A and B are shown apart, each in its own frame.
Chain A
């Protein structure tokens, strides 16, 4: 164990003199947090709305007022033709267009159904569907109000059992993408430090020839593996602390669940990312190679297939099956569960178990390969 400690000490001495490493370890997480927290903000609190009001009645104006009062919509324009509306939507000047028919008020006052047409710019699917959801919400509220009013006018008491649907959004009440994205950065940062940096560090010794020098010493392969990996685990957890501080204190996203379980599952997660890093170092001859393999072979699939970047439910079935082989998938589920929902081991033990099994397997196999290479 003393030998492992000597090794760890040496790694940190080398970190100290490597400014590139510092940039990667400190600046990258901060940048990622800020970019994902602000720039990639998919939130919709300001939906641009165009109205083509052919009716110009009191009721139609009431209807439109509901949108402006909801706080989510801004009316950018009242247009006078359908063509003008479609052009503006095509030019992304508005996300939603509403066409109110000529007989809107007349139909409704005669107890007939009136059809309102809603145009949605679907080029950004997520955004479009959220905006559409809001539009539907406002509309059905309005129509309910009309029914109640007309019933009251006609002296009919609404039956006690009438149902008023009231949508409540759980876990992420403000429906912020930020709340969804920022916590997952932890998974990305740990991946970066434990897969990319680890493989680079091992291959660097191969390139420089210092690995050869180590091999002639009586140091055992497991001591070398530990000595090489532990510093990156420490580094990984340090950056994790940094990212989570930014999350809590800057973005105001608290960790609702158990921090212990959060840390414990992070540890399970890095078993597999470290294993991958180690594996990559055994198949790469140069740092360049290790970098390419880490990025394209490990990091990209993890980011795309873990639910980090795209919701898994939106993927084709076959790809959904593939995601089960991605350790980061389970970790993302755990992170979002613990931080946003405040759930813990009782609900997430399956994910934790999967991480444990995958981690041990990958790490074990790569260590075996590492051992062989020494000979």
Chain B
């Protein structure tokens, strides 16, 4: 492509943008709305995932043993090794009854712990199993319950199920809404480009008579679509950035007592992925939208 053609394409593309101001603005607004919602979903989702992951790391299964029937520490440690090899298990901790009593009495009894002569938790040596994948908790539990040496298994099944269920629901809901918005913005972009093509139909006809290649005729319209896509992704990115920072500020100000639980990701780590994804989606939408309409309206 000659440099003159390059500038011609860009010039015509910009001219078209300004000639159909209404349509252009509508397209940019829709694609912005779409990508703004995407940005919000993305931010909420990544934060939610982050929080869930942290919560999941805390989800544990505790197994107690028939020590009164003579299960030895050795047997328990052997089982610990076996459990550690299972896929859904992140880590396993062996806690002796003495250790358990030590922690408990220190946390809750303070100086009163001296009133106990014997360890009331005697025979409660146990394994605390942290899960890598919460959804497989019930499998682990039934595995443990079927072992002869196991006396009791404590689980936190309801929490785990709720967490992964809510996670999935938010995920699918946002995918559907974003998909709908994508289709709407695609439709609007291709209509914007189509209106530009219609208002230039005479010019296009003459270009074809003179011997313009398809590429030459199409380029300004495709370029127009790309500009709409870029503007439609930069605007919502700026907006999302602002909202995100403000939201964190407000939430951590109002709910400072929850600050330990609500551990938000810093804006940079969210935008590290959000910026390329949003711009990619904007440019992709602009390109596909304009190609759709160019293919439909420019075949002379």
A pairs with B:
no
